[in-house]
């Protein structure tokens, strides 16, 4: 049995403004007060894990202990099939310290072409970890399947959204309205699972 969240507030252990905006929407109907790691002055831990799960857990546990309240972390990224899942857990690092996603998307395109440009399928993955100050953690995962387009399209969203076209759609995540991305995103799928396993009272 998963541990249930029964507090009134939690820390959102992310320093990514795009994610924080999406979580603000996702949490709206649930009546939980969200404090961000930034507003509490929490440091950004080094993401030394090899999997999304490892990194989500290390970020959530560090924040829960530092803030002494439950903390939710999101570790996510884009996995290109032709690149054996790259950039994967390195998705943020491909953009460098300047967070230059124009350069990161260009690198992705260059590597797809170098790999033969025959398979442009990809998935966005999101792992959420909810940790308590005693170290207990629950994790859930969500995925959005699609393909990588070129050139980038749209100026909404964040990160790699301008090159990601979800299956069955004609708009990239960056061309969609936030409420449309929310219907099908990896983050929304993981969030729905989190609500079912750890938040909803039966
Ligand atoms: O660790 P935190 O502080 O949460 O913020 P971050 O930006 O470093 O986040 P990650 O370590 O999880 O790295 C994930 C990267 O993958 C990309 N990414 C994740 N979800 C995305 C989405 O919905 N749309 C576009 N890019 C996304 C984005 O570039 C993120 O920087
Ligand atoms: Mg990060």
| Domains (range + CATH), the chain | 9-199 (3.90.950.10)
Distance 97 CA to ligand 1 centre (A): 13
Q: Return the pLDDT at 159.
A: 98
User: Exposed (0-12), middle (13-18) or buried (19+): which is 23, by Cβ within 10 Å?
Assistant: buried
Q: Which residues surround ligand 2, an ion (CB under 5 A)?
A: 92
Q: Return the pLDDT at 45.
A: 95
Residue 92 CB less than 6 A away from ligand 1 = yes
Q: Which atom number of ligand 1 is nearest to the Cα of residue 173?
A: 24
Note down pLDDT in tens along the chain; length 202 residues. 899 998 889 999 999 999 999 999 999 999 999 999 999 999 999 999 999 999 999 999 999 999 999 999 999 999 999 999 999 999 999 999 999 999 999 999 999 999 999 999 999 999 999 999 999 999 999 999 999 999 999 999 999 999 999 999 999 999 999 999 999 999 999 999 999 999 876 5
By alpha-carbon position, which residue is closest to atom 7 of ligand 1? 16
Question: pTM of whole model > 0.90?
Answer: yes
Distance 14 CA to ligand 2 centre (A): 7
Q: 75 catalytic, yes or no?
A: yes
Q: Return the pLDDT at 177.
A: 98
Q: Return the pLDDT at 202.
A: 53
């Amino acid at each position: 049995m998963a541990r249930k969240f029964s507090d009134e507030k939690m820390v959102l252990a992310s320093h990514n403004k795009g994610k924080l905006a999406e979580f603000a929407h996702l949490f709206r109907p649930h009546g939980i007060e969200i404090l961000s790691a930034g507003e509490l002055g929490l440091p950004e831990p080094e993401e030394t894990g090899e999997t999304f799960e490892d990194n989500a857990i290390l970020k959530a546990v560090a924040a829960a202990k530092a803030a002494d309240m439950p903390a939710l972390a999101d570790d996510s990224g884009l996995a290109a099939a032709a690149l054996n899942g790259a950039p994967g857990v390195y998705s943020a690092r491909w953009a460098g310290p300047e967070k230059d996603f124009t350069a990161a998307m260009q690198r992705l395109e260059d590597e797809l072409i170098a790999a033969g440009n025959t398979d442009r399928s990809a998935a966005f993955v999101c792992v959420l970890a909810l940790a308590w100050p005693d170290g207990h953690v629950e994790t859930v995962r969500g995925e959005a399947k699609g393909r990588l387009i070129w050139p980038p399209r749209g100026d909404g969203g964040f990160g790699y959204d301008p090159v990601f076209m979800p299956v069955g759609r004609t708009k990239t995540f960056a061309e969609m309205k936030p409420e449309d991305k929310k219907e099908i995103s990896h983050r929304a799928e993981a969030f729905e699972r989190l609500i079912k396993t750890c938040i909803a009272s039966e």
